[in-house]
A = this chain, B = another copy of it.
């Protein structure tokens, strides 16, 4: 590997501006103890020499890298949902001159914590200050991160199997109230036979199911859960659940889908059977993903503010870095029901 040409250093700048190296440092860090004329002379020298300070050297002393890692776990690819969380992290981070490293990790929930093979960023120290965990998070990963004492914030909706003890910082959105609102909306439109379609072995779908149950209970309606066997994907789940929904008696007039992909699959399958949405049956989704707008009519669904989740994660991580001994906190961001075209008035 060829040598990288040496760059200008503060010593050279100091010489060029006829000042000491300390003064250069003071100008760079805009600590005010520099006279106007000296500052001007230094800035001129910096400009003339094209000097850009070396970030590495500063960090040794500061013991801060101003860099955080966005770690995406167990996702085959960077779904739009997580991509937008990442963008939220990035834009907020950039506004505070923090940098965001992107890394992916694949691990099994059954691997013992100390045998999880972390990405290289987490193996050295002094590379990042903290971590934002996204993707599916199992307890063994949390244990592992704790063992290397890396401060972190978890996107909590995809945390699996952690019980109720919350010994870490987390940011999530409100699954429960999302479907609760959606269910209330359907009831308000006169629907009574409302079913929920989704695989509630996923904790987040379970929370959504609970919101739906609560909505039904409020009006003394009987909740019903529709499952599909051997679904290959959420879209497939939606398609496969169509038959089960249509064969129920009395026939449901509305479906609360566990997410937009299920709603999409359901919609497609209904359309093939010449059942009209919303005239014959109403459908609502959850997440407000791209699919919601691609449907025809567009899907009424629960909006999740993905960028805001990212921003909040970053904000909370920075607080943690500034106050390592602060109590752990948990933030649940509100969700919002978006009325589009897939719900009819009975």
Contacts and interface: CB of A to CB of B under 8 A. Distances in A.
Interface in A60-114: 60, 63-65, 67, 70, 77-80, 83-84, 86-87, 90-91, 94, 97-104
Interface residues of A, number: 60
Interface stretch (A51-59, A152-160, A167-175, A196-204): A51-59
B86 A99 contact: no
| Copies of this chain, tallied across the complex | 2
Contacts of A94: 103-104, 119-120
A186 to B, nearest CB: 25
Dominant secondary structure at the A interface: mixed
B84 A126 contact: no
Question: Which of A100, A294, A321, A323 is the most central at the interface, judged by chain B CB atoms within 10 Å of its CB?
Answer: A294
A90 B64 contact: no
A264 B56 contact: no
Interface stretch (A1-9, A37-45, A242-250): A1-9
Contact of A124 (B1, B53, B64, B70): B53
A98 B102 CA distance: 11
A321 B1 contact: yes
A148 B119 CA distance: 30
Nearest to A1: B322
A234 to B, nearest CB: 12
A90 B65 contact: no
A334 interface: no
B235 A294 contact: yes
Interface in A252-306: 264, 268, 271-272, 290-291, 294, 296
A338 interface: no
Interface string A311-335: 0000000000111110000000000
Contact of A102 (B1, B54, B100): B100
Contacts of A104: 87, 90-91, 94
Interface string A119-154: 111011111000000000000000000001000000
B91 A83 contact: no
Contacts of A324: 2
Contact of A296 (B90, B102, B126, B268): B268
Contacts of A70: 102
